[in-house]
Structure 1
């Protein structure tokens, strides 16, 4: 897994950093035993003090207080891209030779400066976009790689909210085998429509992209119609990640032979390809609740990212490639966000939940 010894890890930040803390302490996660939570870096609020007490680790309020025997710091503090000082913190640690995993998004200039600091300190640095390491996404990417090796990819269709654009580009780039060349058209946005639409290419593959570029200024982490959805089409069919958290679906392309009169042959000899299901679930079919996503799916992805960083620690020759990929993702994201502009401000109320049981009952009765 790229870990030659147990790594001592400090988490900086107690917002989204809670997912990292869960990742490093949950006994339910495979691969977690390679890492030891060795401290928390925060401003010293009552909440952060209670967090440190809960996990039984020291609370550091200044980066300089972090001991030299710490292997990795997870910087889960806003970067300059979102008005924070996460990259300055990362650079101070990297120069000391402490390896850093930094939560996205991170501007290209910041990544460049972070990579320079990493080189100065002979340390490994990586940006964690999280979502490529989710279990359903890894299943999707494995299937996409198989398709890519056997057939030419014809198209990508994707939809997301604007906060998911950064990791979505990372996922698409991995799925199609590279980010370059990329291009984005000017967006189209109909009045009253929640999505902007763009024609694009990524990795040379045609891409149709719709983005909900809206944000609630007092509640920015809520009110997205969805996180992301992604489909890749090849000659043989369409591979779909139906939601950020799965499932992965395969839809074989419908194609029928014709007889001598030109009519489609719908059954019999020569129509074996029509005998397969029109849609198949690949990988996991049982979906997790949001409680389990926060407690398992996201922490699992953090552990995956830490193992990837450890491979860069153990094999310094990998670091250049990892850094170039991080730069490319950030550059593509900057190009995209320059096209779509600032998000529109919305202030909807709390969404009303829909009863799953009621939907189930309605569907079961629909064809009775």
Structure 2
């Protein structure tokens, strides 16, 4: 198989794309980093041993462009750059979030130029999120959720909608009922998906000087079923199953307590999968790198197998539309000015619990 030539655009989150591509040298040739020529870009190019290209017209012919530059949604040139690549016959994978108008423009550009365009859905590819989605899909065949609860921050609100779109039969009917502008760090949204009530806690705060930090969480979801609760505790896990407690009246008779039904013998909570806690660096440079690698491999497969792009476009447009409705309902994030990162070692927390360390 001939290696595909790839350019990465953007030296901030783009570094994770560089890590991912350099982990697959047998499939991809990373020809360079495209950027403005900042000191960070220069250091990245030197560190990863790749050319730094600052003039678009000097980019060599490539098969795939990874556009990891802010889209027009937040004042960046990412969408314009993606379309410019596709007009040159280059397939594009673009980092989210992307406004509905921009997504539509990009898919039209892909169709016009007979190339492939993909929005990177990193988070649904992460191992624990993927596990949550897989289990939810199987549970949904048996019974639909009675109630959905979620919590996330603006920085990952787009993938939050993406996760829900994978874990539920459809999000097309999702509507917002009300939003409570909370005094604390979370705003509260209530809505419905058909007849399923939804409550979302939105950590609607941003520190302008460091937009990637100071959120209180990434993702947390709980699907409440008739039989129990399926919980994604955090983006990096674990996934938990909490069976609904039921005490049969017959057990109040002492003679019956030796013959308990199977459901009474279930654990009160069940971690699903072989979950092992990870350091943050393992999650970032392991899970994120692999999730991005899986996305690039998916784009490669789409190109090689000449798949129909229309279903992917329809789903992504739906995700972008619902994300736009959600963020419009929450309105602008509140500006915060934290006094630095507060850190309490986990071993101290263990001591508080009486656990020896």
TM-score relative to the length of structure 1: 0.90
CA drift at 1:160: 0.9
Among candidates 229, 239, 250, match of residue 248 of structure 1:
239
Q: Is the 8 A contact 2:177 2:192 kept in 1?
A: no
* Cα distance in 2, alignment partners of residues 289 and 247 from structure 1: 14
Alignment of 1:285-300 (within 5 A): 285-300=275-290
Question: Deviation of residue 205 (structure 1)?
Answer: 3.6
Q: Are 2:179 and 2:187, in contact at CA under 8 Å, matched by a contact in 1?
A: yes
Distance 1:96 1:57 in 2: 22
Q: How far 1:32 sits from its partner (Å)?
A: 6.5
Asked if 1:19 corresponds to 2:16, the answer is yes
User: What do residues 210-269 of structure 1 show as CA deviations (whole Å, max 9, x unaligned)?
Assistant: 101111122221111111111112222111111111111111111222239x98999443
Q: Looking at both structures, which has the greater relative contact order when contacts are Cα pairs under 8 Å and sequence separation is at least 6?
A: 1
Q: CA 1:356–1:5 in 2, change beyond 3 Å: closer, same or farther?
A: same
CA distance in 2, matches of 1:178, 1:308: 22
Residue 270 of structure 1 and its aligned partner are, at CA, apart by 4.9
**Whole-Å Cα distance in 1 between the matches of residues 89 and 19 of structure 2?**
25
In the alignment, which of 298, 302, 308 is matched to residue 312 of structure 1? 302
Matched, 1:93 2:85: yes
Distance (Å, rounded) in 1 between the aligned partners of 2:110 and 2:309: 10
Quote the offset at 1:170 in angstroms: 0.6
What is residue 185 of structure 1 aligned with on the other side? 177
> 8 Å contact 2:250–2:256 — kept in the other structure?
no
Shift of 1:325: 1.2
State how far apart, in whole Å, the 1-side matches of 2:275 and 2:75 are: 39
1:109-258 alignment, distance < 5 Å: 109-190=101-182, 192-202=183-193, 205-258=196-249
CA contact (8 A) 2:178 2:191 kept: no
**What CA deviation, in whole Å up to 9, does each residue of 1:134-164 have, x standing for no partner?**
1111111111112112222222110111222
Structure-2 separation of matches of 1:210 and 1:360: 28
Deviation (angstroms), 1:299: 0.6
Report the CA distance between 1:5 and its aligned residue. Answer: 4.7
CA distance in 2, matches of 1:61, 1:351: 34
Question: CA RMSD, aligned part only?
Answer: 2.2
1:353 is matched with which residue?
343
**Offset of residue 98 of structure 1:** 0.8
Q: Secondary structure at the match of 2:37?
A: coil
Is the partner of 1:364 in helix, strand or coil?
A: coil
CA contact (8 A) 2:100 2:320 kept: yes
Whole-Å separation in 1 of the counterparts to 2:20 and 2:238:
23
Q: Does 2:331 align with 1:338?
A: no
Equivalent residues, number: 356
- The CA distance in 2 between the partners of 1:315 and 1:205, in whole Å, is 38
Match of 2:32 in 1: 39
1:108 is matched with 100
Give the unaligned 5+ runs of structure 1.
Answer: none
TM-score, L = length of structure 2: 0.93
State the alpha-carbon separation in 1 of the partners of residues 340 and 254 from structure 2: 51
Per-residue CA deviations over 1:302-321 (Å, capped at 9, x if unaligned) read: 01111222232134443111
Structure 1 residues 194 and 225: CA distance shift in structure 2, 3 A: same
